[in-house]
Structure 1
Amino acid sequence: MVILSIDGNEMLYGPSVLEWEMAFYYTDEPVHIYLLENYIWHDILVNRIVKEKVMETWISRERDEFFQ
C-alpha cells in the first residue's frame, strides 16, 4: 500500500504491487485520512516494539498462544 498524506488534509493511496491494477485514489475525507494515517502509525509502532529485546519474548509467546 502506498499512502501519501498531504498536510493531513488530502491523501493519495493505492496498491504498491505491480501485478495489481494501478488505481490510486484521492480523498479529502477526514475519516479516511485519520484511519490511513493511523494505519501508518500502527505499522511504525509495531516495528519499534518488535525491535525492543525486552518485548521480543512476550511477542513470540503471545503470537504462539494466539495461533494455537
Structure 2
Amino acid sequence: MARRKPIEAPEAVQKLLDQYEGNHVRAIEDLIAHVEHLEREITFASLAMSYGFSRGWKPDVGAR
C-alpha cells in the first residue's frame, strides 16, 4: 500500500473539526456533500463551455 502524504495544513483540519464539535463523521459527511455539489457545478459549467474556450481541456469529474 502506498504511503499517504501527510496533511500540510493541520490547522485547517482542526478548524473543520472544531466547527463540528469534534464529530468526525459529520465533518466527513459534510465534506462529501460539498464535493458532490462542486462536481455537479463542474458538470453543468462544462456543458455550457465550448471546446475551444478551454483549449480542449474538459474536466474529469469522476477522477478522485
Normalized per residue, which structure has more strand? 1
**TM-score range normalised by the length of the shorter chain:** 0.3 to 0.5
Q: Using structure 2 for the length normalisation, give the TM-score.
A: 0.40
Higher relative contact order (CA 8 A, sep 6+): 1
Q: Using structure 1 for the length normalisation, give the TM-score.
A: 0.38
